[in-house]
Structure 1
Amino acid sequence: MSRIEPPSTDPVNSKPARAATGDGLDPGGRRRARRYDPDRKTRILDAALDVLAEHGAAGTTHRRIAASAGVPLGSITYHFATLIDLRAQAFARYVEQQSAVFEELLEVVRTREEFVEILVDLVHGGPARYRSAVLGFELHLAALRSPDLRVLTQAWTRDSRAALARFTGPDVAARLDALLKGMIMNVLLATDPEPREATRAAIVQTLGPADGSRP
């Protein structure tokens, strides 16, 4: 899986965020020595994903991310030029993580039945899958309004279909990918979600008859 680079932000429409006044200064007004914290940027990105999952893109702020990461507000503006830049890098990290998780799930598949069950579990996942699905749809919604983010949604779709195609071929993989996204959204939004048996039947129908050349 190739590394996914976050989209570049538009310097015209993305104004740099103003650093918090006084952050990093001692009582005498002198700048404190910066504490060595090599994982701080990664921690900020993970915190940004937590905030995006809980509050959505519209409710994501520098202060909420700093509080979630346990870092000074000035650390956010030190590592990221704008909130848009931070959001793009956080979404890029999310796509990389999800693509890797999906590939890892499919590595254990040996039979058609195992393949189907993994996909059913993907649709009817627990709390961890719920957070992941919410972030996925937050990314797609943000990409509708910010075309620069579409490089991430396209990369994610490409990686997902490539992973599925090892078991189905490219044409069926494209249809199956679209089906899975729709069913995951249905499970998230429905007050009475489809049972696992209905999900399994839809996946099997999309796969078509087994030809013996693939699991």
Structure 2
Amino acid sequence: MKRNDPGRRQRIIDATLDVVAVHGVTGTTHRRIAAAAAVPLGSVTYYFATLDDLVTTAFVQLAEQSSCTFADRLAEATDRNSAKEAVVAIIAGSIWATPRTLLLSYELYAFAARHPPVAAVMRRWMSNSRSALERFFDPLTARALDALVEGIGIHNSIDAAPLDQEAIRTIVDRIAE
């Protein structure tokens, strides 16, 4: 039997992230997701037994995509200096600097704190990031840079005077001396 809409499940997952970005996890409902995905309400519950299952799946996708983007950017580095530039680009560029990504990150961390399967995904994400950084930096420096990536993004999202790329470069240089 041929499915009429083979991309429906993925649209529901993508729409979940859109809804979470706008309404937060607590404001995310099956109805809002169905409307955002342009699918019947029954489709959401057909593919996902509970709202937690759907939100977890969406956050796993976000974490895996972000982890891959981070690793891909660092894979372009050939030495310690180009690795530091990659970290600056990750912080100041499109990976963490978008308001949507930051909002989803806030929601993801809060959700992971209460949902062990998602916390495990987050730990894997951190481990992958640190492994990518450890190609060029010792483990402690890699850990500090990993925390810096998200920390500056969070601070810049609400700071009246966010750090610019040059300031970020100076901080990365100081940490990774």
Asked if Structure 1 and Structure 2 have the same fold, meaning a TM-score greater than 0.5 normalized by the shorter chain, the answer is yes
After TM superposition, give the deviation of residue 133 of structure 1 in Å. Answer: 2.5
Alignment match, 1:184? 153
In the TM superposition, 1:42-81 aligns within 5 A as: 42-81=10-49
In the TM superposition, 1:1-215 aligns within 5 A as: 36-126=4-94, 129-130=97-98, 131-208=100-177
After TM superposition, give the deviation of residue 111 of structure 1 in Å. Answer: 4.0
CA contact (8 A) 1:186 1:193 kept: yes
Cα distance in 1 for partners of 2:125, 2:96 equals 19
CA deviations over 1:5-28 (Å, ceiling 9, x no partner): xxxxxxxxxxxxxxxxxxxxxxxx
Q: Which has the higher helix share?
A: 2
Cα distance in 1 for partners of 2:164, 2:70 equals 22
CA contact (8 A) 1:164 1:173 kept: yes
Structure 2 unaligned blocks of 5 or more: none
Which TM-score applies when normalising by structure 2? 0.89
Aligned length: 176
After TM superposition, give the deviation of residue 126 of structure 1 in Å. Answer: 4.7
Q: 1:104 to 1:127 in 2, by over 3 A?
A: closer
Cα distance in 2 for partners of 1:70, 1:200 equals 43
CA RMSD across the alignment: 2.1
CA contact (8 A) 1:124 1:187 kept: no
Alignment match, 1:11? none
Q: 1:37 to 1:80 in 2, by over 3 A?
A: same
Cα distance in 1 for partners of 2:53, 2:120 equals 14
Alignment match, 1:25? none
After TM superposition, give the deviation of residue 85 of structure 1 in Å. Answer: 0.7
CA deviations over 1:60-116 (Å, ceiling 9, x no partner): 111111111111110000000110110001101111111111111122222444322
Percent of pairs with identical residues: 41
CA deviations over 1:13-53 (Å, ceiling 9, x no partner): xxxxxxxxxxxxxxxxxxxx995222211111111111111
User: Residue 166 of structure 1: SS of its match in structure 2?
Assistant: coil
Which TM-score applies when normalising by structure 1? 0.75
After TM superposition, give the deviation of residue 147 of structure 1 in Å. Answer: 3.7
